[in-house]
């Protein structure tokens, strides 16, 4: 059996028979046997589901076997859509040449001219947006969500806005980008800003601003990154508001910071296509030693206020006692009533009272009430 070569060509393959290194025949699916006496016999199995390699194509063409292939040539300004049995299977780039096996499927080539623009028709976008299509690196597919717009940039230049939906563009020879922009009201937080006040106290502040686009195309035409620009302006406004005021001024009226930043943004964002609806300082964090000092100040202030209140109450109590004394001075009955009130308070603290002489002795002998 050393002089016999047995070969099996599996499904979806073809056998390339080479004798002494030269292509002799193409073998369809099946089993084969060859005498290998006096010559070098080789059989290479090639998957017919893929394009013919350039090396094999040259060999087959030299042996006059072009009838087994479909050749697809594209110009420098053309993109090709390759179909097998009517189904899109591959996107071919410009200035390319491919060969495919005829026996595998019915091949078709649809040409798209780049001179007609890079935008793809909706029908083509739907066909390309399916699994299994090769060559998709030559196409950009993008889904613009609801409440968004897509900023289309070709070779770095903004050329238009895309409405919500599926979009497709060829990117052969051009750099195509689509940036998604949310047109709803959004929150932007500027956090952890270490800023010195005018009296050299270090504060850490956080600011939150609610903003939205007024003119998306205008904003991107003026600024490469509008959101980053807004963030920087919020930083600048916050530093200007804090750095020009003392700690006492800021603690007494936090609204000063909001008003100052708002005023800064009105000047800097005019005509930018951005709008800040509202903003506010979320946190003001003091250093540890400053917190201790402020706590001591507050404690001293509250102690002084408590002392004032206590003195006021004592003065009012003294005045009340003086008024009572004046009333009792002019009325014996009032004096006796005061004595009875005092007796009642004393009696509340006594567990047992022994009475001699009856109840009358208590009433008449202990306390006598006479008309004044």
> 56-91: per-residue pLDDT in tens?
777 777 777 777 788 888 999 999 999 988 899 999
Task: Output 368 or 228, whichever has higher pLDDT.
Answer: 228
Q: Which residue has the tokens 């008309």?
A: 371
d(CA 362, CA 353): 11
d(CA 48, CA 42): 18
Q: Which of 86-90, 177-181, 227-231, 311-315 has the lowest mean pLDDT?
A: 311-315
Q: What are phi and psi of 13, to 5 degrees?
A: -135, 165
Is the predicted pLDDT of residue 154 greater than 50, yes or no?
A: yes
Arch. (CATH architecture) of 186-286: 2-Layer Sandwich (3.30)
Task: Output 31 or 4, whichever has higher pLDDT.
Answer: 31
Q: Cα angle vertex 215, ends 209, 219, to 5°?
A: 75
First to last CA, the chain: 153
d(CA 161, CA 145): 13
For residue 158, what are the β-bridge partners? 153
Q: What does the pLDDT read at residue 310?
A: 82
Q: What are phi and psi of 158, to 5 degrees?
A: -75, 125
**SS3 label, residue 263:** helix
pTM above 0.95, yes or no: no
When pLDDT is cut at 50, 70 and 90, the band that residue 354 belongs to is low
Residue boundaries of the structural domains of the chain: 186-286, 288-329, 331-372
> Which is it for the CA torsion 56, 57, 63, 64, positive or negative?
positive
- Per DSSP bridges, beta strands 165-170 and 139-144 are antiparallel
Structure tokens at 86: 């009517």
Residues 6+ apart with CB under 8 A from 185: 210, 211, 212, 277
Instruction: Identify the CA nearest to 256 among candidates 285, 290, 284, 227.
Output: 284
C-alpha dihedral (259, 264, 267, 268), degrees to nearest 10 = -140
Mean pLDDT of the chain: 84
User: Can you spell out the DSSP letters for 85-139?
Assistant: TTEEEEEEPTT-EEEEETTT--EEEEEEEGGG-SBPPHHHHHHHSSTT-B-GGGE
Contact between 29 and 13 under an 8 Å Cβ cutoff? The reply is yes
For residue 177, what are the β-bridge partners? 153
Q: How many CB atoms lie within 10 A of CB 216?
A: 22
């Amino acid at each position: 059996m050393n002089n016999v070569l047995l070969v099996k060509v599996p499904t979806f393959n073809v056998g390339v028979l080479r004798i002494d290194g030269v292509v002799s025949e193409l073998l369809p699916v099946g089993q084969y046997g060859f005498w290998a006496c006096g010559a070098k016999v080789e059989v290479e199995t090639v998957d017919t589901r893929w394009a013919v390699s350039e090396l094999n194509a040259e060999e087959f063409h030299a042996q006059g076997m072009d009838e087994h292939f479909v050749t697809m040539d594209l110009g420098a300004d053309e993109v090709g859509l390759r179909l097998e049995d009517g189904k899109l299977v591959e996107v071919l780039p410009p200035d390319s040449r491919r060969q495919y096996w005829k026996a595998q499927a019915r091949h078709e080539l649809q040409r798209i001219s780049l001179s007609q623009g890079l935008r793809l028709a909706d029908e083509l976008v739907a066909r390309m947006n399916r699994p299994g299509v090769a060559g998709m690196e030559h196409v950009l597919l993008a889904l613009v969500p609801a409440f968004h717009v897509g900023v289309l940039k070709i070779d770095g230049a903004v050329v238009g806005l895309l409405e919500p939906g599926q979009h497709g563009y060829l990117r052969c020879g051009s750099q195509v980008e689509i940036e998604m922009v949310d047109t709803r009201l959004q929150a932007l937080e500027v956090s952890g800003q270490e800023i010195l006040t005018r009296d050299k106290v270090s504060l850490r502040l956080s600011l939150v601003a609610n903003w939205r686009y007024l003119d998306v195309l205008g904003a991107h035409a003026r600024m490469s990154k509008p959101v980053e620009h807004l963030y920087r302006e919020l930083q600048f406004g916050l530093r200007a508001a804090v750095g020009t005021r003392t700690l006492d001024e800021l603690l007494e009226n936090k609204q000063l910071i909001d008003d100052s930043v708002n005023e800064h943004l009105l000047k800097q964002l005019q005509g930018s296509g951005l709008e800040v609806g509202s903003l506010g300082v979320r946190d003001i964090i003091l250093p540890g030693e400053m917190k201790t000092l402020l706590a001591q100040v507050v404690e001293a202030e509250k102690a002084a206020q408590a002392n004032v209140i206590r003195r006021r109450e004592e003065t009012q109590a003294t005045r009340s006692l003086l008024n009572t004394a004046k009333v009792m001075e002019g009325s014996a009955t009032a004096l006796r009533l005061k004595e009875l009130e005092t007796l009642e308070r004393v009696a509340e603290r006594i567990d047992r009272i022994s009475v001699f002489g009856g109840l009358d002795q208590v009433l008449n002998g202990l306390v006598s009430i006479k008309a004044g």
